[in-house]
Amino acid sequence: MMGVRQRSKLVGVLVQVAALGLGLVIIFPIVYGIFGAFKSAAEFSAFPPTFWPGSFAYTQNFRDALARVPFLRYGLNSLIVATLGTTVRLLFAVLAAFAFAFYNFRFKKALFLVILATMMLPGDTLLVTNYLTVSRLGLLDTYLGMAITSFVGATQMFMLRQSFLTFPRDLRDAGFIDGCGDLRFLATILLPITKPVLVTLFVQSFITMWNAYLWPLLVTNTNQMRTIQVGITMITSFEDTNYHLVLAGVTLSLLPSFLLFLILRHNLHRNMTAGALVG
């Protein structure tokens, strides 16, 4: 007979193994892609295919990719658009979520449903309408034009509202009694506590915008305003995919997302309310 403690230990080990396995499956394409950036064209056409590159000192792909496409300029463009879009989007989301979580007003439920309904619309169906709007606003070929369609996001608003709802009402009431108004409450109490959620949303949103391809391509007309994902398609062609160069470009384009993740990583899993209402 297996004791309860033993059994739960076994379950724990199994869960760990399963999680590890799943993690490996998820990370494999990324690792394979990065390794690929160090392989020569000949290594790519080798049969059977190899996993490890011949040498990590082989940097020709990176040099070729950088020589062919102005990745630095395009990276800067992507950085500006993604930062601008993500920041404004979170700002709107925080304010809207605050209203939906803490205020009572007429049609609150209906309005909330309307916002949720926008999540059901596939982005592609909005492409032409958005293009029309942005071009009439005279924002073609500008950073604002590229970012403006991301300024309001239902998903972020929804996630924040859910997180705000879990916030203990008592804390807000306590703040009110001490003369803490809405804005101050939001800025000094609520936001610091929901920081993990905010950071997660920021990272997720930033990466989505960083990876955007079709929209930035649509609303820009000059070579200088292109984003990094457009740059990557410049090194590949229908006739010749150039995997080694593409993967070098992809590896370069992964760096900012990766750095962002590293910097904000410790914020992603913290529960600051723990202990706030003790006693």
Binding-site ranges for another protein (CB under 8 A): 45, 47, 68, 127-128, 131-132, 135-136, 140, 213-214, 217-218, 221-223, 226, 230, 233-240, 242
Q: b/e map of 244-269 (b: 16 or more CB within 10 Å)?
A: bbbbbbbbbbbebeeebeeebeeeee
For another protein, give the closer residue by CB, 68 or 73. Answer: 68
For another protein, give the closer residue by CB, 64 or 182. Answer: 64
* Cβ 214 to another protein shortest distance, Å: 6
For another protein, give the closer residue by CB, 140 or 264. Answer: 140
* Cβ 108 to another protein shortest distance, Å: 36
For another protein, give the closer residue by CB, 205 or 229. Answer: 229
Write out the two tokens for 28: 């494999």
Question: If you write DSSP's letter for every residue of 14-74 in order, what string do you get?
Answer: HHHHHHHHHHHHHHHHHHHHHHHTTS-HHHHT-SS--SS-S-TT--HHHHHHHHHS-HHHH
Q: Which residue has the tokens 């998903």?
A: 155
* Cβ 185 to another protein shortest distance, Å: 33
For another protein, give the closer residue by CB, 131 or 167. Answer: 131
* Cβ 126 to another protein shortest distance, Å: 11
Q: Is 179 left (phi over 0), alpha (psi -120 to 50) or beta?
A: left
Residue 278, helix vs strand vs coil: coil
* C-alpha to C-alpha distance for 15 and 193, rounded to whole angstroms: 30
* Cβ 229 to another protein shortest distance, Å: 10
For another protein, give the closer residue by CB, 47 or 105. Answer: 47
Under a CB-based contact definition with an 8 Å cutoff, are residues 43 and 53 in contact? yes
For another protein, give the closer residue by CB, 221 or 273. Answer: 221
* C-alpha to C-alpha distance for 184 and 219, rounded to whole angstroms: 39
Residue 275, helix vs strand vs coil: coil
Q: b/e map of 98-127 (b: 16 or more CB within 10 Å)?
A: bbbbbeeeeeeeeebeebeeeeeeeeeeee
* Cβ 42 to another protein shortest distance, Å: 8
* Cβ 239 to another protein shortest distance, Å: 4
Task: Select from 105, 206, 104, 108 the least CA-distant residue to 156.
Answer: 206
